[in-house]
Amino acid sequence: MGDPWPALPKDGGPKHDPRLPLPRLVDVVAALKHVVGTAVRDAARLVQPAADVIANGVANPPVALAALTTPRTPADAPREISVPYALNARFEELRSDHLAQAQATDQFGKERCITLVRDKATGELVPMHELVGTGKHCEPNLNIDTSRFDLVGSFHSHVNLKQVVPPIDPADPALSFSGGDVVFQSQQKLPVSILQASADKQFMLVRTEASAVLSVEQGAAIKAEYQRQLDHVSGGGRNLQGFEYATRRLAKDMARDHGFALYEGKNGTFTRVEPEVKD
């Protein structure tokens, strides 16, 4: 076997040009200190967030939806939850289609919905059963192959231009979960419900071990009370700002009363708002 190292040129290689001054040792040392110092600082910036999480419980990264397990109580739910970029982009596309249809037809359009599952083999989040509702509502198809998938939850879109004057106004209220949404998730025991409420406003409702399982009678009463309070706060739907605010306030009330954790989000990252995150 030959020498693995390349031989130096017979003339000893390139020589220093005598016309150029030799670098001073002090300058070489200073340059090395600068390079090493910069590398150390960069490494510290990468390591410190993880160290903070371990030592102080701060700078918590979002929990990936695919890795989410059922929290014991709403207060035990993660501070933040994230969904994959490609899936979130699809949520936004479906809601954009829904909005365009509502603007062209009856102010409501037809909701879009998706069933979300976890692949048992890979652990990845998988969307399936993408549907267009038959009216203002879209009920997800929860029939899945349980030998291959775990049910994670569902997604749907909201559009309501009825409160906008004139009807085909570019204004687009971001309406949170309705009484019917909460009742459906409770009765179906869905772990997670995701709502694309506007172009960039999202909501998520997470079931916990403390979440109620509502009876048919309880569900009907909750939906009726929700509508009564919504009409009261928004002046019968005539106050657009009040209508939007009312849906968010009532969603918080329902989450608190029935043992769910409520999140508000944007671009696929959701932050818990009920119960509110305390630093």
Q: Does 79 or 49 have the greater pLDDT score? A: 79
pLDDT tens by residue, 75-124: 999 999 999 999 999 999 999 889 888 888 877 788 999 999 999 999 99
Q: Secondary structure of the chain: what % helix, strand, coil (to 5)?
A: 40, 20, 45
Give the DSSP H/E element, type plus range, for residue 205.
strand 202-207
Q: Map out the domains of the chain as residue ranges.
A: 22-59, 64-274
Q: In the prediction, which pLDDT does 198 show?
A: 87
According to DSSP, the β-strands at 192-196 and 112-119 are unpaired
Residue 140 pLDDT exceeds 80: yes
Picking from 206, 180, 184, the residue whose alpha carbon sits closest to that of residue 193 is 206
Q: Does 20 or 168 have the greater pLDDT score? A: 20
Q: In the prediction, which pLDDT does 174 show?
A: 85
Cis ω on the peptide bond leading into residue 166 (within 30° of 0)? yes
Q: Does 254 or 1 have the greater pLDDT score? A: 254
